[in-house]
Structure 1
């Protein structure tokens, strides 16, 4: 279905109205991925508009991922490509330890940073794939994020699934849809790999920590999202917020669809 479309500049009450017309559920929970460059306007104003649309009992959640402190992350491997061993060691030694209270999440965008820094915001404990949230359900959603479980059953994604949360792709595509990763954990015997990152140690220093988790792969999420929109057009609402096209849909519906889709489309058949 399509929401009312209004190609109007983002700002104040107009943004709240657009979010309401799109279908953001009052007193609900919404996980937001946003490109403010596409939407236009100010990230703090957008966060305020989302909170007004959700109402006082609603909870706003954003990804606050930190690949900057890992030498197994895609961003690190791209950063050191072509560098000498000495230069790679210098980059690695400069990586800051993750501190949920202060570590920025620059690759997640301006809206995620606005929410993370907002007074009263909470953040989950995973040193690579934390989430930040504002609202009365934040504690329930973020507590218990195991440090060896990026985005699975012991992460906020599973709590969002249980809470019947919505997902809002605000000026972004399905290649950014973190919820699909929960479906990867729900495949039988998903492939696994080692990860490393810097975590805080006693005395304020950092230490390298290695752990095993499933192999996260978002390379086919854009195709998965296109198929999801076609198959579940009854559940996916499209419309404009600010200058950008956006998608709103139930997280649970997306994860359930992705679980079956991955089984049918991934080469290992798992």
Structure 2
């Protein structure tokens, strides 16, 4: 069964890459940033919440979270990976399995693998409304070792939108859910609602505050809700000679702080390194 899932993942990646080459009109990945800048706002991708824009990137993330007993869990990968743009309306992402270190009696191991497709519904740059609306659908392949992943595969649909105010401030929101393909009595279902406020302080520095809410239905957390407030900062690294078609780097970090009485973890420190190309 696990080998079949691996084959599905590989085939999905191949289809996405081939589709990107065929759908993108310029036929060159290096032109994506320049082309997309004319179609959507100049946000920065939130630390946790989904980005409504189409972006081409590679992203490595590490999280350090603590459970109620104070045990630290380190997640190398943290559900982030890379994405490519196909045409003017599609983005395809691949999230490799993270490595999870528990620092407790639980056995360390690799987590699940995911793929994602994003459709740009409508958008405009600073001269055309400065907004973006997109639909997202991801599929998680339950391939984790030693119970470091989900019990079954799942689908996660979402709708996300953002609006920028005069190039200095922007707000984003998203609403989505996680729908396991089986064992609902064990895993339950969930709805996630994210709200983001960002400030572009300098040409290289961004700040944001996120609110991450999850509502649980069925399963062991039935009827419960957990909420986190996440302050974060971003530093954009690019030379003076940079142009929109050139790659650049981003270093960022933040901490999820629980504000609800129920929470499965707390004080989740997230650090990242990104490249946009």
Higher RCO (CA 8 Å, separation ≥ 6 residues): 1
Higher strand share: 2
TM-score, normalised relative to structure 1: 0.24
